[in-house]
Amino acid sequence: MAPSRPQTVAALLADTEPFKRLTPAQRQRLVAASRERRYAKGETVFREGQPADAVCIVKEGRVHLIKFLEGGQASTTCVMTPGETFCCLPALDRKPYPADAVAAADSVVVRVPTEAFHQLLQENPTFLQDSLCLFCDRLRQVEQKSCLAYDSVERRLAQALLGLSKKFGATVPLTKHELAELAHTTVETTIRILGHFRKQGLITSARGSTTISKPETLRRLAGL
């Protein structure tokens, strides 16, 4: 069997936006051009400012998109899980990657060359339309999120947990440190506030994971 396992990749694409509505033949063209790569935990997939040579899809593991603020403080803007596509933005406007991408666990990533993606955009108005809608959604999300930035840490943490539970289910496999980077705060504050949540019976917490026991109450607390 070939190391790139093309049939599996095709199945992955068939199930992820914006590739869902492509014909099998079109998908096959992308698959043929794309390559699969394994990243060890902590390894960098790409860096902010690099020319964007590929659109990426997570196949296994977990990849974090990270921005570095003034003073070197890391802030993860997004947690990508299997089946999620990231950075089609550069494929549309051919500008560099807007953030760092780092494997937060041992991961497998499918890389579709920007060229192939872009060519398909030109040829296929439906694909263009779908990509566009994906983008509009993303823009709305980001605008929404930038409003939450001014909430209290308690709220941001509650929202981070709820967002992650959509991807992972009730138990979220992130360390407190990773949660802190997501909620733009420090580990200490994160631990303290999760402590409050625990005392209220909203969550239970273990080494490397925290599980939500009362999502409703947490949602109220998050202001949603």
Closer of 93 and 216 to its own copies (Cβ): 93
Per partner kind, with CB cut-offs from 5 to 8 A, the member of its own copies, DNA, none near residue 75 is: its own copies
Closer of 119 and 189 to DNA (Cβ): 189
Sort residue 169 into left (φ over 0), alpha (ψ -120 to 50) or beta.
left
**Going residue by residue from 120 to 149, which x/- string records binding to its own copies, judged by CB under 8 A?**
--------x---xx-xxxxxx-xx-xxx-x
Dist CA 166 CA 135 (whole Å): 20
Dist CA 160 CA 112 (whole Å): 29
Dist CA 86 CA 158 (whole Å): 24
Render 90-148 in DSSP notation, one character per residue.
HHHH-PPPSSEEEESSSEEEEEEEHHHHHHHHHH-HHHHHHHHHHHHHHHHHHHHHHHH
What is the enclosing helix (H) or strand (E) of 161? helix 153-168
What is the token pair recorded at 191?
Answer: 């631990």
**Going residue by residue from 77 to 96, which x/- string records binding to its own copies, judged by CB under 8 A?**
x-----------x--xx-x-
Dist CA 68 CA 63 (whole Å): 16
Per partner kind, with CB cut-offs from 5 to 8 A, the member of DNA, its own copies, none near residue 162 is: none
- Binders of its own copies among 42-71, rule CB under 8 A? 67, 69-70
CB 86, min distance to its own copies, A: 13
Residues that bind DNA (CB under 7 A): 152-154, 175-177, 184-189, 191-195, 205-209
User: By CB under 8 A, is residue 98 in contact with its own copies?
Assistant: yes
- DSSP-derived letter for residue 73 is -
Interface with its own copies: number of residues (CB under 8 A): 31
Closer of 107 and 131 to DNA (Cβ): 107
Per partner kind, with CB cut-offs from 5 to 8 A, the member of DNA, its own copies, none near residue 187 is: DNA
Q: Footprint of its own copies on this chain (CB under 8 A)? A: 67, 69-70, 75, 77, 89, 92-93, 95, 98-99, 128, 132-133, 135-140, 142-143, 145-147, 149-151, 155, 184, 223
